[in-house]
Every structure is written in C-alpha cells, then in structure tokens.
Structure 1
C-alpha cells in the first residue's frame, strides 16, 4: 500500500507511484492549498473590484518566483550541506522550502505586477493576506507527511494529553523518540488567524486598505516567533540566532509601527471595503 504504513509505522510521504515517477503528499498538499487560496482570492477580489484575470495572471507569476525564492532562502542558510550535495538543491519534493522566503518573492511580484496594472498594491495584499495564511496552515501538513518542522523530544504521555488523533502521535515518533508537533501548533495558529481575519475584514470602518494585510503579518509573525523556538530544525545564523525568530520580531514590530504611521499620517487612505477606486465598475 502506497498511502499508509499500517498501524505502528509512519505515514508514507509518497501519495502515488507511476513507474519511475513519484507523487509526494508534500506537493499534493501544497498544490491543494494554492488552489483553495486562489478560489477564495478571486471571489474576494471581485467584491473589491479587482479583475479575476489580473489575479490569475499575478498568481502565474508569483508561484514560480515564490517557489524559487523559498528554496533559495533555505539553501542559503543551509549552504554548508548543499555545497557538499549540489544535486540536492532542486530536491524540493523532500521538503526544505522556507515560508518567509516564498513570502519575500511573492511580495515583490505583487508589488511590481500591481504597479504595472494600476491596481492598489495594499488592496491586493489585503485580498491575499488571509488566504495566504490559510494556505500556510494547510501547507504545514505537508511537513507532517515528511516528518519535518517538528519540535524537541517529548513523551508519549504528553502527546496523549493533547487529545490529538493517534495517527499524529505515531507520525511524531521520529529518530527513536516522540517529538513536539510544532507543525500542528502552527497550522492551528494560522487557521485560527484566517478565521478571525475572514470574520472581521468586512466590518465597516474597521480596516483601512493595507491593514488586513498588516494584521496578517502581525498575527503570523507573533505566533511563528514562539513556535520557532520549540523547533529543532531551525535555520540558524552562527548556531546562536534563529533566522525565523529574528525575522518574526522585525515583521511584528514593523507591522505595528507601519499601521500606526499610516493611520496617523494618511487619514484619507481608503477603507478596505471601498475596493479598487481605479476601477469604478463593479465586477
């Protein structure tokens, strides 16, 4: 059976095998998250008077750039290993892509694409922010299938006390010991943030354009800082500083400061619900 190693074994990371070709659960889960996020973004974009074709075109540019930048980010901080194993640099099906790297790459695409298409950059980021957070929450289950993004050694009793399904507990038995399911903590945190943003972003006179996205940045970076501290596979600078924790602090503080400055200095900024004022026609 390709899907599951029965009973006491770990789940098989390969979803389907066709001759020499293997389809990994990691890729299936990431692709599914992207599809769901795209559908939700297009639906919300229509409400905010953003042409669906523009969203599709932007995603076609953003996806490859995000994938390349995510892998490049990871490889750069793990260069001593990849310098000795250059053939592994493109092996993304085995994991090893960094979310922060993908966000940097995708963010650049959004900025330049929107400027070229005369779409308010902050509005597009607002539409994207909640669904990206949702996709990140789903994507963590790809890490689960690969038995990566886990935490320190813990006990079976601790995991059982969390009242999580047995298959998760079994998958957290890695290298001869049970591990903290940090992938699960982050997935729950991301999906909770998604629900909250989706629940509040349509409230009148609550969010100015850009503030839905900044809420996403603040929420995600806050949770990521603490969850990253539990992990044992963090990208490090000099074996003393966790890269993602440092970036989380910068984004958290920067998000709050930018929110305050934009509200204080630009009180005429449009509300999120005003939508794309450059496109007066309702979709």
Structure 2
C-alpha cells in the first residue's frame, strides 16, 4: 500500500458473489491504525477510518478529558507511519503544557479497536470521577418524536461511505427542528462521535442547540463523551443497555433509542 492510499476511506477487494457467477470486486471500509500523539508522546492507538482525522483527534482529546477546550490545542499534523508489521497514520497534537502535565500524571496504556468500550481500564476506580450533572437546556422540552423520525429518515442520504460499503457508523448533529447539520462516518461508533464533536468544537458550535444521533446503540461510553461536551440529548437507532440508561439519567442527558421507522423510545429512569 502506498502512503497516499492510507488516507483512502474505501478499498477495493476481489470477491466471489452469489447468486451472481464468477469473480468480481467489492468495496470495503478502510480500517487503519491511527496513533494519537500529544507533545511527541504516543498515548493511544485506535483503528479508524482514515478520514477527518484532525477532527477525530481533537474530539478524542476533548471527550477523554485531555483537553478542556479546543483552544488548548495549538496544532494538529497527520503523518504516515511504517513499521515492520503494519502501515498506519500518526496524528500529532501540540497541546498546552498544563494539559500535557495532567495527561502524563494520568497516563495508562490504551489499545483501541472498533469495539472498544473500556479499553485499558485496569479497575473500576479507573473509570474516573463521577459524571457532571448538566444544567437544564430549555429547548429540550420541545424535542418531539416527529423531530427524531425526521432526522432518522434523512440520515441515510448523508452516509455516502456506508452506502458504498455497508460497514460504517455515523454520528450526526441535529438541530432542534430535526435538520442534519453535520454527519461524520467511521468504522467505530466512538470514532464517529469523536469526529463529530471535534468538528463542532473546532468551529465553536458545540454550544448551539442540537443533539447527537447515532447509527448504533447508545452505549455508556458515547453518553459519557456527550455529557463531557455538554450535549443535552442523544438518539440512536438501537436500544441502550441498562448501564447506559443509568449513566444518562444520572447526568441529565435525554436519551432516545430504537428511533427507526415510525417508532422511538424515550428512557426516563
């Protein structure tokens, strides 16, 4: 694979297809090792779709508490990396000294993958401090099922990569009226959300009214990321777990699941 190919989000593959006879080609989602480096120190290696990596790295840094604001990131560079075993990409962030000092004091080994949940956590205590309780956002009182279903119907048309290969998640930022304002795709649901939140933070638009829509289940990790960034609501096409509902309830996040077709479920515990 050539270095330029590392940035291609889709790859061709020879396949035998039935009932069609003979060999043909198909399109697969690219999944590339992405090393995240802060001030020259490698912190985590994730498997991700190699697109919108600057937004991904910034979103990861914010949602994992490495940075408190986008202004504490002074620059981001993406470079190819070649080892004996694998080709990948390194995303190098230049961050504020105070954030880097905190990161060094909290460092743990992380090896991420597309099913990553609590990667690298060594004990229950390592889950971190209690989640903040978000202040009420008045506009959420008017969030209706019709708004959610409007976003659900529109989302497939904003997923060009998934339409080509059928293997990517999407994270969307949706207005209070149900309009899709931004959509990010990735093989990992966590990565897609980090890309979305990173983009919104970079553009100073996280404080605008809106909610997150995910083409996955609403896992507790996704909820934690949203809460850290002050996002008041999340909707997803699949059902959450009991733990996810509990995390949402304790933090004040409005949680919807099974938003598809003509149905939606709000979890109110």
Q: Same fold by TM-score, threshold 0.5 exceeded? A: no
Higher strand share: 2
Structure number with greater Rg is 1
**Into which bin does the TM-score normalised by the smaller protein fall?**
0.3 to 0.5
Higher helix share: 1
Instruction: Give the TM-score normalised by the residue count of structure 2.
Output: 0.34
Instruction: Give the TM-score normalised by the residue count of structure 1.
Output: 0.33
